[in-house]
Structure 1
Amino acid sequence: MTVIRRFLTATALALAASLTAPAAHAATPAAPPALSAQDRSDIARVEEHLNAVKTLQSKFVQVAPDGRQATGTFYLSRPGRMRLEYDAPVRDFIVADGLFLFYWDADMRQQSSTPIGSTLADFILRKDIRLSGDVTVKEVDRADGVLEITLFETKDAGKGSLTLVFQDKPLQLRKWRVLDAQGLTTEVGLINPRAGVPLDRDLFYFREPGRDRDQLNNPR
């Protein structure tokens, strides 16, 4: 199983639906937890912050459940578009083009895709981000200038949870952690994230690596 496939499975609630295995539990709607006035205020601040971020570029460090690390670059262009590209020697990548989310398995030279709306990648790619409705806030934690908000899928809490970790004052997304249905945690930390940067729209189209070159070398 490649790094990208492990990443997609572990971070299904954050960026994509699991493309390799069904959820471990049957769908069970969860009752919303009791939130304090401070919790609701912080949730509103996070919603406002996330909605203000239209484009974002950042290096990232991914720590897998077994402690292994991978690095790469994360690009976001809301609504609907994102790209995660791993540094060499990993050649896999994920791209969302506004309608579909694709991932490229370089070892197999295969791409898989699914409609964005059927994944929770849709959560961070929407035009209007809300931490309610099809996602439920489980917990809000504050400590030493850090704000953490833990979410789960409202209709199926058994799939796991996503924790968004923000630097507070000023508010800035710094990392996310995903606890999957098997109890395994994957963490992705952002390094020097830059919001509001111009991004080439070509980043957000799926193109099979080497395809154009191969076609030129083997014209029909």
Structure 2
Amino acid sequence: MNIRTLALAPALLVAMAFPALAERISLNEISRYLNSLTTVTSEFTQINPDGTVSTGTVYIQRPGRVRFEYNNDPTLVLASGGNVAIFDGKSNSGPQQYPLSQTPLSIILDANVNLGRQGMVTGHSEQNNATVVTAQDPQRPQNGNIQMVFTAPTELRQWVVTDDSGQKTTVILGEMAKGGSIPSSQFSIQTEMGRR
């Protein structure tokens, strides 16, 4: 064993002692992955801005549609037709509604996700063997941002939406069932209003 090999030995031992760090997934690959998602169903855990925790099932039909059903809670969140409606089970009035474009979740639901657009991504890093991407609508940065966490092979694991007032809502996804069909009525704000 020569001097050079002896000098390298501690570095080799350190390298062998730790598993290889996951490489940061490229923005092009993440855009491709999000665009490949059409219909997704997943259990989720939601950490609300006040620290309370909710669970339920989320149904996603890209582009533009999402349904959050909560366990043991009549609250329902729907997005379709360019609008978001929040049905509060404790209220007799109609749903609170606003344009989908005003929420950072619209980035995931967009017909053509392109994280390479100028001014869209404000953070892209590798943390704890996951790729973390923070994105905003470049035309409406005042509407907040979404921080998405992906593991390799590319899979969306969670997101944190920071709204225009700085409130953070975290959604942690369970095992995602991809494909299949969800009836359009599940995303209809009008149908849900009639049902209630």
TM range (shorter): 0.7 to 0.9
Instruction: Specify the alignment match of 2:61 in structure 1.
Output: 77
Q: Gaps spanning 5+ residues in structure 1: where?
A: 1-37, 212-220
Residues 112-121 or 183-192, more deviating: 112-121
**How many Å separate the matches in 2 of 1:91 and 1:134?**
40
What's the offset of the Cα at 1:93? 0.8
**How many Å separate the matches in 2 of 1:201 and 1:76?**
11
SS at match of 2:31: helix
TM-score (norm 2): 0.75
Q: Is the 8 A contact 1:134 1:153 kept in 2?
A: no
Q: Which amino acid aligns with 1:191?
A: G
**How many Å separate the matches in 2 of 1:96 and 1:184?**
20
Instruction: Specify the alignment match of 1:102 in structure 2.
Output: 85
**How many Å separate the matches in 1 of 2:141 and 2:83?**
24
Q: Is the 8 A contact 1:134 1:155 kept in 2?
A: no
Count how many residue pairs are aligned between Structure 1 and Structure 2.
171
Note the 1:36-185 alignment, pairs <5 A. 42-88=26-72, 90-109=73-92, 110-133=94-117, 136-168=120-152, 170-185=153-168
CA deviations on 1:155-181 (whole Å, 9 max, x unpaired) are: 45455432100112x111000113345
What's the offset of the Cα at 1:141? 1.2
**How many Å separate the matches in 2 of 1:100 and 1:65?**
22
What's the offset of the Cα at 1:94? 1.3
Instruction: Specify the alignment match of 1:201 in structure 2.
Output: 184
What's the offset of the Cα at 1:75? 0.5
SS at match of 1:153: coil
CA deviations on 1:79-111 (whole Å, 9 max, x unpaired) are: 2221111111x1111112334322212211221
TM-score (norm 1): 0.68
Residues 100-109 or 202-211, more deviating: 202-211
CA deviations on 1:128-177 (whole Å, 9 max, x unpaired) are: 11124486111111134311101133245455432100112x11100011
Whose relative contact order is higher, 1 or 2, with alpha carbons under 8 Å and at least 6 apart?
A: 1
Q: Gaps spanning 5+ residues in structure 2: where?
A: 1-22
Residues 67-76 or 123-132, more deviating: 123-132
